[in-house]
Amino acid sequence: MIQITPLHPLFASEVTGLDLVTGPDDATFAQIEDAFRRRSVLVFREQAISDEIQIRFSQRFGPLETTKVGTNGAGSHLVVLSNIGPEGQIVPPTSRQMLNNRANQFWHTDSSFKPNPARASMLSARAIPLTGGDTQYCCMRAVYTALPERLRDAVEGRVAIHDYTHSRSRIDPELVTVEERKAVPPVRQAMVLDHGPELGRSLYLGAHAAKVEGMSDDAGRSLIDELMAFATRDRFVYTHQWRPFDLILWDNRAVLHRATPFRGTTEARHMVRTTIAGGGPTVADARAVA
């Protein structure tokens, strides 16, 4: 028997009593899927799992993404977010690994730079720092509902250009390699996603959103900035302070997320992510014209 308890009035629930080594059985899984659809973020407690068990559980939600070139875990089903190097040492703050981790401190949604952006991500805490290193989530369905009419009109039917190079360049213009640029060229994404009559719509943005199609660069930028400032206010945000072996599943099409800072030069943080692929692009033609 699992228990599902809300963590925030708008979204996010905690799931206890789940055994991922033996289960869940189909009935329990259906209960989890239903809670996930409605709550967008599920925190599974006490899951001291292996990579294999994480992959197996993730795959019950759908096919997984393969990690892109240039990211820790490239070519596999895992993304490793860690400040620990191959010899168990803490890596220097200037290393690629650390800079890429720092990019996760901007509000974003995973893989929105891909033509078929991720449906969900599952993140497992294998080592956590004593303080900081939280993960925050922003409920973009509640945000859409709360948008003033002027902003709702501004995003109606609009398309944003999402670009991995844009978001990474905010950390360091040299961070993205030529190989990465080729692998993930800019894509078009709808600014509003429709989840059907019961769940309504969500605003779809985040750090990869660089421009708004049909607007000047400046006007598009200031619309994105205004929407992001509106969205990421405290009332829409759940802050997760990790406990050892928490496992979190989130809906990339309904929430934004970001990591908070921690003392990364003295404390270890090691997280393993699997990413459940999306069911298709958010617009009919996802390719951006350069």
Q: List contacts with ligand OGA (CB under 6 A).
A: 81, 104, 110, 121, 123, 135, 257, 259, 271, 273
Residue nearest to Mn ion (CB): 110
For Mn ion, the binding residues in 86-125 under the rule CB under 5 A are: 110
User: Which residue number, 122 or 151, has a Cβ lying nearer to Mn ion?
Assistant: 122
Contact status: 65 vs Mn ion (CB under 5 A) = no
User: Which residue number, 211 or 273, has a Cβ lying nearer to ligand OGA?
Assistant: 273
User: Which residue number, 147 or 250, has a Cβ lying nearer to Mn ion?
Assistant: 250
CB of 79 to Mn ion, least distance (A): 8
Distance separating alpha carbons of residues 237 and 258, to the nearest angstrom = 11
Distance separating alpha carbons of residues 13 and 37, to the nearest angstrom = 11
The total of other beta-carbon atoms located within 10 Å of residue 205's CB is 28
The H or E element that residue 37 is part of is helix 26-39
The H or E element that residue 33 is part of is helix 26-39
In our burial notation (b when 16+ CB lie closer than 10 A, e otherwise), range 22-56 reads eebeeebeebbeebbeebbbbbbeebebebeebbe
User: Which residue number, 147 or 276, has a Cβ lying nearer to Mn ion?
Assistant: 276
User: Which residue number, 253 or 257, has a Cβ lying nearer to ligand OGA?
Assistant: 257
For Mn ion, the binding residues in 9-48 under the rule CB under 5 A are: none
Instruction: Write the CB contacts of 173 (distance below 8 Å, at least 6 apart in sequence).
Output: none
Q: Which does 273 bind (CB under 5 to 8 A by kind): Mn ion, ligand OGA, none?
A: ligand OGA
Q: Which does 142 bind (CB under 5 to 8 A by kind): Mn ion, ligand OGA, none?
A: none
Show the tokens assigned to 206: 């985040």
Q: Which of helix, strand or coil describes residue 270?
A: strand
Distance separating alpha carbons of residues 124 and 224, to the nearest angstrom = 31
Instruction: Write the CB contacts of 233 (distance below 8 Å, at least 6 apart in sequence).
Output: none
CB of 287 to ligand OGA, least distance (A): 24
Are 101 and 264 spatial neighbours (Cβ–Cβ below 8 Å)?
Answer: yes
Residue nearest to ligand OGA (CB): 259
User: Which residue number, 74 or 154, has a Cβ lying nearer to ligand OGA?
Assistant: 74
CB of 58 to ligand OGA, least distance (A): 13
Instruction: Write the CB contacts of 26 (distance below 8 Å, at least 6 apart in sequence).
Output: none
User: Which residue number, 14 or 110, has a Cβ lying nearer to Mn ion?
Assistant: 110
Binding site for Mn ion (CB under 5 A): 110
